[in-house]
Structure 1
Amino acid sequence: MPEMKLVHVAAAIIVDSEGRVLIARRDASQHQGGLWEFPGGKVEKGEAVESALARELDEELGIQVESARPQIRITHHYADKSVLLDVWRVERFSGEAHGREGQPIRWVAPSALVDFEFPAANTPIVSAARLPDRLFITGNIAELGASSDQYEAELVRRIRQLPADSLVMLRAPELDDEAFSRCYYRLLDVCEECGIALVLNSSLELANTLGADRLHLSARRLKSLHTRSQFFGRWLSASCHNQEELDRAAQLGADFVTLSPVAPTASHPGAPVLGWNQFWQLTEQSTMPIYALGGLSDEDLQEAWNHGAQGVASISSWWGRF
């Protein structure tokens, strides 16, 4: 059987000043007709992706791209074709978007994207559109020399200084289940008040007992998970360090992962690191949003985007900021 041709498509997550995302509905006569999609179109032979994106958005929506950056690249195999979706995030544009080809369009809040039916290939793009570009991971109690109550108070103070729509992971292996649970419920109240999403880094059993909506698994816990349905919440993510772990996370339907270590870290001096080239090779094979982790800070965001990352996950750079 001949190998299916790979169709290269430039697509856009277009965000307006209110943080809403633009989606369009495919004509019934098209492939995957009637479903919603992120605007874009085929990259012609010899054409730069950015040029194809600008051309397609002008033709389809009547807008001119002023700035765009890479968001995620997904290769998806349908029964009749393979598609490389090269997705860019557009946050600055001129013109008023409208369906120039008669297609219905709609501006929706990122959280509402799950209410629309997209082609299967768009599932990770929906996740990427709903996730921020930074993941803040809590540091160790030992770094503060604090009691569990002091640690909790410090976390509350730091979380209150983050912008709305941030993503925070509670990782505190030094706490026993009782203290961890108290801390989780306290932070959950604060995060809900501030419009921040809280991810629990714990065992599956504790997360389900607490009724957590988001769970992040260590590589060891990821390996022992049998099915996605074992977690009762909505968002599942995991720590990955190699292709095998990325494949396992994808098989279980993880919404996103962290991939580390990209650079040397103070906590693991001399340990092997991926570097950006290997990180890029791994993201190119992935079907999930990936946060780059390990020795990175906000200053590495552009480099992370250029190498296929959703953004940067940080522990030390956030923890040492105050």
Structure 2
Amino acid sequence: MKRVHVVAAVIRGNASRILIAKRADDQHQGGLWEFPGGKVEAGEAVEAALARELSEELGIVPTAAQPLIQIMHDYPDKQILLDVWDVTAFQGEPHGAEGQPLMWVTNRQLLEYQFPAANKPIVAAARLPEHYLITPEGLDTGELLRGIKRAVDGGVRLIQLRAPEMFDPQYRDLALDAVGLCAGRAQLMLKGPLEWLSDFPATGWHLTSKQLRQLASGERPIPVERWLAASCHSAEELLLAQQLGVDFVTLSPLLATQTHPDAQPLGWQHAEALLATAQLPVYLLGGVGPEDFSQARQLGAQGVAGIRAFWPQ
């Protein structure tokens, strides 16, 4: 069965809202919501297909767009490659040119709509930011909390509270304070025993690669309304993350780092090959900073994650 190449757009409007459209009942996966787009014709460039589809379906012309994520999905009756682009500017006023209902929704509201199964990682990618801040080791509680506040004030939207040198009670107390700093402004991801999950209902959870391997054969340990992430270092671990239903991962180390000086770096070329197999959003981690975002996105990553390069001084 030939894989159908489809281009789709995450179109961003005012107040960080995202445009979605409802599929006609007589279409494949009819009655479900989708990100606007359509089939790439033979010999057609993907960007040209994106512009054509958005003009035909919505009456708009994209003026700023970049790759977001590629997903391969096999339905019982069809195999597709979804080539998803982030459209951050456009000309015209979107309307359902083919009679399809449209909705502008917030990140959180995306979870309230039913999408085709292939769209699950796209919904995650649409909701996630470009950068993932991981807190550094060796700081006392006061320094960590002041840094988190500066980061949130500076617009950071995704933070992992990583403090492996702390005793469990210390970490839990720190997490409670960090939850308050991030409330309504940034998504906080915690690390630690899964027995703590119910104590921090507002946070997501970032699994270590060891936890990922332990859990991979079972069910997702956290409700779909909460973010679940994992640390991956290989194609095998990326596959385990997909099997568990993880929302996003970090892939590391991309380059040599001070944090893990003995770890063998993946390098950009190997990372690109791994990203091509990943069916979920991936942050590249290790020796990268905000200036590497464009290259990471072009290779298929959601963005870049980091400790020192992202920590506000």
Q: Same fold (TM over 0.5)?
A: yes
> Given the alignment of the two structures, is residue 98 of structure 1 paired with residue 103 of structure 2, yes or no?
no
CA contact (8 A) 1:200 1:216 kept: yes
Q: CA deviation at 1:17?
A: 2.7
CA contact (8 A) 2:9 2:50 kept: yes
> Given the alignment of the two structures, is residue 171 of structure 1 paired with residue 162 of structure 2, yes or no?
yes
Distance 2:243 2:174 in 1: 32
Q: Determine which of 17, 21, 24 is the counterpart of 1:24.
A: 21
> Given the alignment of the two structures, is residue 309 of structure 1 paired with residue 309 of structure 2, yes or no?
no
Q: Determine which of 75, 99, 105 is the counterpart of 1:78.
A: 75
**Residue type at the aligned position of 1:218:** T
Distance 1:309 1:156 in 2: 25
> Given the alignment of the two structures, is residue 116 of structure 1 paired with residue 117 of structure 2, yes or no?
no
**Residue type at the aligned position of 1:112:** Q
Distance 1:230 1:38 in 2: 28
> Given the alignment of the two structures, is residue 42 of structure 1 paired with residue 39 of structure 2, yes or no?
yes
> Which digits, 9 at most, give the CA deviation of each residue in 1:145-199, with x for residues without a partner?
xx33x334433443343316x1011000111111101100101001015x11100
Q: How does 1:194-213 map to 2 (within 5 A)?
A: 195-211=185-201, 213=203
Q: CA deviation at 1:317?
A: 0.3
Note closer, same or farther for the CA distance 1:200–1:302 as it changes in structure 2 (3 Å cut).
same
Alignment: residue pair count: 311
Distance 1:88 1:135 in 2: 20
CA contact (8 A) 1:203 1:221 kept: no
> Given the alignment of the two structures, is residue 139 of structure 1 paired with residue 102 of structure 2, yes or no?
no
Q: CA deviation at 1:70?
A: 0.5
Paired residue secondary structure (1:316)? coil
TM-score, normalised by the number of residues in structure 1: 0.92
Following superposition, which runs of at least 4 residues in structure 1 exceed 6 angstroms of deviation? none
CA contact (8 A) 1:238 1:249 kept: yes
Which position in structure 1 is the counterpart of 2:218? 227
Distance 1:190 1:261 in 2: 29
Q: CA deviation at 1:267?
A: 2.6
Q: CA deviation at 1:203?
A: 2.2
Q: CA deviation at 1:279?
A: 1.3
Which range moves more in the overlay, 51-60 or 212-221? 212-221
TM-score, normalised by the number of residues in structure 2: 0.95
Paired residue secondary structure (1:123)? helix
Q: How does 1:179-258 map to 2 (within 5 A)?
A: 179-192=170-183, 195-211=185-201, 213-225=203-215, 226-231=217-222, 234-258=226-250
Distance 2:186 2:152 in 1: 9
Q: CA deviation at 1:227?
A: 2.7
**Residue type at the aligned position of 2:211:** R
Q: CA deviation at 1:209?
A: 4.0
Which position in structure 1 is the counterpart of 2:50? 53
Distance 2:151 2:130 in 1: 16
Which position in structure 1 is the counterpart of 2:154? 162
Aligned CA RMSD, in angstroms, stands at 1.6
Q: CA deviation at 1:265?
A: 1.4
**Residue type at the aligned position of 1:224:** Q
**Residue type at the aligned position of 2:188:** L
Distance 1:154 1:66 in 2: 39
Paired residue secondary structure (1:129)? helix
Which position in structure 1 is the counterpart of 2:264? 272
Q: CA deviation at 1:270?
A: 5.9
Note closer, same or farther for the CA distance 1:250–1:112 as it changes in structure 2 (3 Å cut).
same
Which position in structure 2 is the counterpart of 1:66? 63
Q: CA deviation at 1:278?
A: 1.5
> Which digits, 9 at most, give the CA deviation of each residue in 1:230-262, with x for residues without a partner?
336722110000011111111100001011111
Paired residue secondary structure (1:57)? helix
